Amino acid sequence: MPRFIDRTGQRFGKLVALERIGTDALKKVLWRCRCDCGNEVSVVAGSLVTGNTTSCGCLIPNFKHGGWNKSSYNTWRAMMRRCYNARDKDFKRYGSVGVTVCSEWHDYSNFAADMGEPVGTQTLYRIAANGDYTKDNCRWATPTIQARNIRVRKTSKSGYTGVHLRKGRWYAEITHQKKKHYSRVCNTLEEAVAARKELERIRWGVA
């Protein structure tokens, strides 16, 4: 008999598990969940942990308008799983260390409105490696750009790729065609992060 996993209080998209309420006709464990919209619904445990059910049904109209077959929707589901599903293979690097998804993005339609669709091989990238999934901290980036940023991040103590502090002042740097390029000196971390984005736009052509 499978080991019982207490999911009381865990969030799955817009649903929060309240209590186990038995099993269905196929002997699958059922949980009573409350949706962010206020409705309560009974959901099979397996549907919660796989991300197949993330609301009481109030999100379905969005998917009928094309969300379910878009790359952004698959990305959104994977993001939610690794942050809130303890059985996801990547949970230990995200949810278990405190990485969360901003409340607005628990609704796929808000995520899609903020981020749009990835182009080509682009995937979701967090600008601050230890930051949460928010509009200001996320962007679409190609594997090449992400690999560059991971290398640069290892030398940055700011938590942001290519952003450094020297003598109390912030600055950003980027490498393009084996040559380093620097931003102006900035007074705040936020200004330096914005300067880094501008360098990426100019040197790498990243939107």
Q: What is the dihedral of CA 130, 136, 142, 147, to 10 degrees?
A: -30
- Amino acid 135: pLDDT: 92
Q: Report the SS3 class of residue 164.
A: strand
- pTM of the model as a whole: 0.53
- Distance from CA of residue 87 to its chain's centroid? 17
Q: What is the mean pLDDT of the chain?
A: 81
pLDDT reported for residue 65: 41
Of 152, 187, 155, give the one whose Cα is nearest residue 171.
Answer: 187
Contact 199, 179 (CB under 8 A): no
Write b or e for each residue in 179-191: b if 16 or more Cβ atoms lie within 10 A of its Cβ, otherwise e: eeeebeebeeeeb
Q: Model confidence over 12-53: pLDDT tens digits?
A: 888 999 999 988 777 888 899 998 888 888 888 888 887 777
Could you tell me the two tokens for 86?
């303890």
pLDDT of residue 94: 87
User: Any idea which residue has 């038995």 for tokens?
Assistant: 22
Read off the amino acid at residue 149: N
3-state secondary structure at position 80: helix
pLDDT at 115: 95
Let me know: does 158 contact 165? Beta carbons within 8 Å: yes
Asked if residue 124 lies in contact with residue 81, where contact means CB atoms within 8 angstroms, the answer is: no
What are 130-154's pLDDT values in tens digits?
788 999 899 998 887 777 665 555 5
Conformational region of residue 189, where left means phi above 0, alpha means psi within -120 to 50, and beta covers everything else: alpha
All domains of the chain in start order, with CATH: 142-207 (3.30.730)
Q: Reduced to 3 states, what is the DSSP secondary structure of residue 173?
A: strand
Checking if the pLDDT of 173 tops 60, the result is yes
The reported pLDDT for the residue numbered 156 is 60
Q: Does pLDDT of 62 surpass 50? A: no
If one counts every other C-beta atom within 10 angstroms of the C-beta of residue 81, the result is 23
Residue type at 119 in one-letter notation = V
